[in-house]
Amino acid sequence: MDLRKKILIVDDDADFTESLSAFLEAKGFHTLKARDGGEGLKIARLQRPDLIIMDVVMNERTEGFFTVQQLRRVPELQATPIFVLSSIYSTHPEFQISPDSGWLAHDEFLSKPPDMNDLLGRIRRHLAPKEATA
């Protein structure tokens, strides 16, 4: 039985997905991969990952945003940390919604390409065991 934490990467850029997957696997995580939001939603429901990394612009310009909303509607996935990892602000400067505005139920919003050490630190913080409250 594989006891490593599972991270689902949802991104249509195969090269980016493979490099991120290799990095995370080398750091001790098990990765799952999806090429679009629909596939990501199916895998998340079946595999129940410990964390999800979601691109925004895939088949549709804001596909990732809608997928995050759909994921949050699945009771078993509501507490799963979701990182939005996107280059939307550099590729679509007309897109003016702040990632910190609270309108999207994500846990982290990072620009592509990410600082891998920063990303790893954030992942580890979100997956660290929560201290029991007395």
* pLDDT above 90: percentage of residues in the chain: 49
The reported pLDDT for the residue numbered 133 is 43
Asked if residue 132 belongs to a domain, the reply is no
Write out the residue range of the structural domain in which residue 47 sits.
6-127
Q: What is the pTM of this model?
A: 0.83
The number of domains in the chain is 1
Q: Is the pLDDT of residue 63 over 70?
A: no
The reported pLDDT for the residue numbered 119 is 94
CATH number for the domain that contains residue 17: 3.40.50.2300
Asked if residue 1 belongs to a domain, the reply is no
Higher pLDDT, 92 or 48: 48
The reported pLDDT for the residue numbered 94 is 52
Higher pLDDT, 113 or 48: 48
State pLDDT tens for residues 76-92. Answer: 998 999 998 876 555 55
Asked if residue 99 belongs to a domain, the reply is yes
**What is the b/e burial string over 16-51, where b = at least 16 CB atoms within 10 angstroms of the residue's CB?**
bbeebbeebeeeebbbbbbbbbebbbebbeeeebbb
